[in-house]
Amino acid sequence: MAVDLGAGSGRCVVGQIVDGRWQLIEAGRFRTPAYTDTATGYQCWDTDAILRAVEQHLGQASAQARLASVGVDGWGVDYVLLDGDLQRVGAAVCYRDKRTAGVMERVHGRVPREDIYRRTGIQFLPFNTFYQLAACVEQRPEWLDAARHLLMIPDYLHFRLSGVAANEYTNATTTQICGLDGEWDDALVEAIGLKHELLRKPVAAGTVLGEGQGAASGMKVIAPATHDTASAVAGTPLESDDEAYISSGTWSLMGIESRTPMATADALRMNFTNEGGLEGRFRVLKNIMGMWPMQRICEEQGIADIDALVKEAGDAAPWRSILDTNDPEFLNPPSMTEAIRTFCRSTQQPAPETAAQMARCIFDSLALSYRQVKEQLEALRGRRLVRMRIVGGGCRNRLLNQLCADACGLPVLAGPVEASALGNLSAQMIALGEMENLQAARAVIRASFVVEEYTPRAGVPVHVLECWNELRAAREAKGATCA
């Protein structure tokens, strides 16, 4: 069973291979519970409630069939602290919390950006674990004084399911304190006043951690590529080095797979990240604000039928107004609806009034972000891309898929939807000796799922590109970004 955690929801997927093809059954789905900590005011994850949901679905699934193994993947950067008795210390603070405001700039006053990037190859984001921990040193030093272990969210769930506390490699790379060699960087750990004993030597994706306990009794607990994007990329049926991927969900993670990191001066200037992948590969990618604005709009306006809204957006006027979706104003505003309207008014564009206009504005803007990253990837690697692959829940958005093909001028293959779960399950199968390697796993995925192809139909108007470049330049001049 793959436990695939997202910042909005989690799901448990049981997989088996029958006649050379995957058969998947969704064992359960749940909203990812969060709360505001009364003692600190921090926005936090309810890890106990997450664990209860996982154990519930694990128990129900194992009652229906014998499960050989379970593994957890989830979002990056967030963590849990444990003391010497392996009890939780403090709260599991959410990356969207504002405690890291201004921290990145203070850290860079002690350690130059160029030095951090040379060591880690990781994109600069204000909520990276590096800056979250620096904020904790400043604001809650008693937590770190009591702590003896730091586990990323999936690591913590593996610990509760197996009793084994381990740091898995792919999620460790999202912290920005793990070096390009896959080891914790002592100099960066010391730069923000951390204790070295907090961090254990990262284990490779696909490591069998141990025998399950409790709800996981009778099965192996296996660390897949625990960063959900690493699992999604592993579950993407890439066939060529000249293909790019977009893992489309709350965030859009867009990049290429590489055997070696790309941590050059140009990559730093473009703010690309080099996160770890299955079999020691690198995910050279950029974070792009994904479906988060849409999720917030639907929540605020009580919209339940997303498919109907996408259809209405397809009939709305294109390019009426556009956003720089990577502006920090869209990270976690009190009202996403008002944040978008305010942005449009402040940039002399017509503010979206209807939900369809709002959705079209978001989709058009995301397509422009994809175009920008596509051009940067081509410049970085020195040759053109030939195809885009979109996986994850967002690949069901046919309007956005077509807009991506149009804006990027490339064919787009959409699917499979369950890429993260498939990558997670594939890592478990490899660990159990049921598959040889990632190449073999992707061949099974290709044989199991039909993908939908989109070909470019229309380009982006020149005046829209000019407006987009102006918006992006204005944000970059302020040195502000949330992705």
Residue with tokens 């978008």: 340
The residues that are catalytic are: 228
